[in-house]
């Protein structure tokens, strides 16, 4: 799901037609549940990871100021230069989670490792919609062209790698390679979880990434057909310049940070903006995070995907998350009052 969509870097001004239909209310920091108890220094550090890449003058000025603040004064920085803005578009808030998968694989094909990760073919670039998943995988259009980056041992894990958009491949020699989003075939994503519900194979409350993987493996023929239900196909690129201890690249082409970065809709939330998250549900969360990523399923003013980290444990935690709450974007003071004049 982490897609290096650099075009969104200029999304600091909320200017889409959908955004124009939203309502905005300026709140006080006292209205933010749990605000005083958060680690604002940790949020400031993550904010600094990407704020220097923003072209908007208001944000660049704030980034320069932020660099003069120590962690113990971070709360003052946010309260002095930002205002909390609640943006609503009539849809209920929804928080989900995403992660960086780890798969077993190899740089060479073998009997075990026989499911390839492909680079994007040149002829697919700039095309609004190319071949579907079924067409790509049941023909030889990708084969014999040197487009393979690596091979993995599980087609279901590969599908979920494509859904997440980036991940790590554990190699037989103990090494690893990292892959990131390299493009897509232009077809809309269709949920295989929803298809299992429609078929009556799973009840709605049963659907999770792990349950889907289990069902596909127990039903290999039907499972192979199920994977074709999603016509979207993601291509990859090898990522070599990101240190192993850092998170994968988000839409701002910078590493995202575990439990401090979110994917949001740039039509409502400027990429790089701090966002106060009030996630309810079984394990409530109150935390200042930074909008540093996007996702094809992350649409709406109150929609966010929280980055849970790398590996299976992060994947299980992310897969369980589907909670209500609310999110409040922190905007530069002048920008906040320009967007919500009735709050002045």
Q: What is the pLDDT of residue 343?
A: 57
* Residue 179 backbone dihedrals phi, psi, to 5 degrees: -125, 145
Is the CB of residue 236 less than 8 Å from the CB of residue 180?
Answer: yes
Is the CB of residue 266 less than 8 Å from the CB of residue 298?
Answer: no
> Strand ranges (DSSP E) for the chain?
23-26, 82-88, 94-100, 102-106, 115-118, 148-152, 167-170, 176-184, 234-239, 261-264, 274-279, 285-293, 303-310, 322-323, 325-332
Q: What is the pLDDT of residue 19?
A: 61
Specify the domain boundaries for CATH 2.40.40.10 within the chain: 6-97+250-343
Is the CB of residue 105 less than 8 Å from the CB of residue 151?
Answer: yes
Q: What is the pLDDT of residue 4?
A: 36
Q: What is the pLDDT of residue 205?
A: 86
**C-alpha angle with apex 286: 344 to 308, nearest 5 degrees?**
125
Specify the domain boundaries for CATH 2.40.240.50 within the chain: 102-239
Instruction: Answer whether CATH 2.40.240.50 is correct for domain 102-239.
Output: yes
CATH of the domain spanning 6-97+250-343 = 2.40.40.10
Q: How far apart are CA 41 and CA 49, in angstroms?
A: 13
Q: What is the pLDDT of residue 317?
A: 92
Helix%, strand%, coil% for the chain, nearest 5: 35, 25, 40
Low-confidence ranges of the chain (pLDDT < 70): 1-20, 341-344
Q: Does an H or E element contain 205, and which?
A: none
Structure tokens at 263: 């994917």
């Amino acid at each position: 799901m982490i897609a290096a969509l650099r075009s969104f870097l200029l999304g600091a001004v909320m200017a889409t037609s959908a955004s124009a239909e939203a309502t905005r209310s300026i709140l006080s920091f006292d209205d933010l549940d749990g605000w005083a108890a958060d680690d604002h220094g940790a949020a400031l550090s993550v904010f600094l990871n990407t704020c220097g890449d923003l072209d908007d003058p208001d944000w660049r000025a704030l980034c320069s100021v932020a660099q003069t603040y120590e962690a113990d004064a971070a709360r003052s920085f946010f309260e002095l230069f930002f205002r909390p803005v609640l943006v609503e578009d009539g849809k209920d808030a929804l928080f989900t989670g995403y992660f960086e998968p780890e798969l077993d694989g190899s740089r060479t094909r073998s009997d075990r490792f026989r499911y390839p990760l492909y680079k994007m073919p040149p002829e697919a670039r700039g095309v609004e919609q190319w071949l579907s998943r079924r067409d790509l995988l049941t023909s030889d259009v990708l084969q014999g062209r040197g487009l393979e980056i690596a091979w993995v041992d599980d087609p279901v894990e590969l599908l979920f790698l494509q859904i997440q958009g980036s991940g790590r491949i554990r190699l037989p020699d103990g090494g690893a390679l990292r892959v990131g989003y390299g493009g897509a075939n232009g077809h809309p994503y269709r949920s295989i979880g929803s298809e299992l519900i429609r078929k009556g194979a799973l009840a709605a409350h049963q659907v999770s990434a792990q349950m889907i993987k289990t069902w596909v493996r127990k039903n290999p023929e039907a499972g192979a057909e199920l994977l074709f239900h999603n016509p979207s196909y993601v291509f990859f690129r090898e990522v070599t310049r990101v240190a192993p201890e850092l998170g994968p690249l988000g839409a701002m082409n910078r590493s995202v940070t575990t439990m401090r970065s979110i994917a949001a809709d740039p039509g409502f939330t400027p990429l790089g903006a701090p966002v106060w998250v009030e996630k309810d549900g079984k394990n409530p969360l109150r935390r200042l995070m930074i909008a540093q990523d996007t996702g094809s399923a992350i649409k709406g003013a109150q929609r966010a995907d929280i980055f849970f980290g790398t590996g299976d444990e992060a994947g299980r935690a992310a897969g369980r998350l589907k909670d209500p709450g609310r999110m409040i974007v922190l905007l530069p003071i002048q920008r906040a009052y320009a967007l919500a004049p009735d709050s002045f």
